[in-house]
Amino acid sequence: MADTLGTDWAIDWLRRSAATVADHRVELGELDRAIGDGDHGENLDRGFRALMAKLDAEAPPTPGSAFKMAAMTLMSTVGGAAGPLCGTAYLRAASAVGEVDILDAGALVAALTSARDGVVARGKAAPGDKTMIDAWTPAVDAAAAAQGQGVLAVLEAAATAAEAGAVDTDPLIAHKGRASYLGERAVGHRDPGAASSALILRAAADAAARNAT
């Protein structure tokens, strides 16, 4: 087994992301209603549905071009803060992987790291601010630690760490976005951006389990 992932995986990841966001649309909206404006599930679902329509019309030739298509589409159709944040994650991942057809474990870790760095730069949030960074940062750390064990291990570690990171936002006070206006009242609620990031990273692992070559 060559232990790499290719364009099929990248496209399958995007499709599985769209499916899981659609499945959790109401739940994400409820998380957001508790500490934000309630539109996170709707907005992400609208963006990923637009992305599915583009993928149906035109198959990207490389993982990087698939990520770039996701970036442009999400930034133009999500509408809320998740658009530029998720879009930037995909855009930086696209830059990190370049034009290659095949990604090994090292390339995946580099892509995830660049994606996380892009979200940090765009949103100017730090770990512990109760944002999607709190899912992304442990995911990147776990992915890097698993790099020697291959692509499946990298993405499984990232997804598991992101899920734990999202749960760990429950007791936090928010320091970014609308939730930051709530102070102590945000405590006890999960950050919707961390929750959706965990869903999307789980979709990457699920797609890898199907598409590893």
Partner 1 sequence: MTVGLVVVSHSAQLAAGVVELASQMAHDVALVAAGGMDDGSVGTSLDRIMAALDEADSGDGVVVLADLGSAVMTAEAAIEFLDRPAAACLADAPLVEGSVAAAVEAQGGADQAAVLHAAETAWSPAGSASPPGPSGPKAGGGAPAPLTSVFTLVNPLGLHARPAAALASELGALDVEIDVNGVDAQSVMMLMTLGAGQGAELHVSASGPEAQQALDVVRRAVESGFGES
192 binds partner 1 (CB under 8 A): no
Binding mask 115-154 for partner 1 (x = CB under 8 A): -------xx-------------------------------
In three-state secondary structure terms, 190 is coil
172 neighbors 30 (Cβ within 8 angstroms): no
179 binds partner 1 (CB under 8 A): no
Supply 180's token pair. 């930051």
Q: Count residues contacting partner 1 (CB under 8 A)?
A: 19
- Report the residue from 11, 18, 91, 204 that binds partner 1 according to the rule CB under 8 A: 91
What φ, ψ does residue 78 adopt, rounded to 5°?
-70, -45
In three-state secondary structure terms, 100 is coil
Contact set for partner 1, span 56-75 (CB under 8 A): 72, 75
Count of Cβ atoms closer than 10 Å to residue 40 Cβ: 26
79 binds partner 1 (CB under 8 A): yes
Instruction: For residue 56, give every residue at least 6 positions away whose Cβ sits within 8 Å of its Cβ, in sequence order, or none.
Output: none
Is the Cβ of residue 85 or residue 115 nearer to partner 1 in the bound state? 85
43 binds partner 1 (CB under 8 A): yes
Q: Torsion angle, CA of 43/142/90/135, rounded to 10 degrees?
A: 20
Helices 82-97, 105-123: inter-axial angle, 10-degree rounding: 140
Is the Cβ of residue 78 or residue 158 nearer to partner 1 in the bound state? 78
- Report the residue from 78, 107, 159, 179 that binds partner 1 according to the rule CB under 8 A: 78
41 binds partner 1 (CB under 8 A): no
Least spacing, CB of residue 29 vs partner 1, in Å: 15
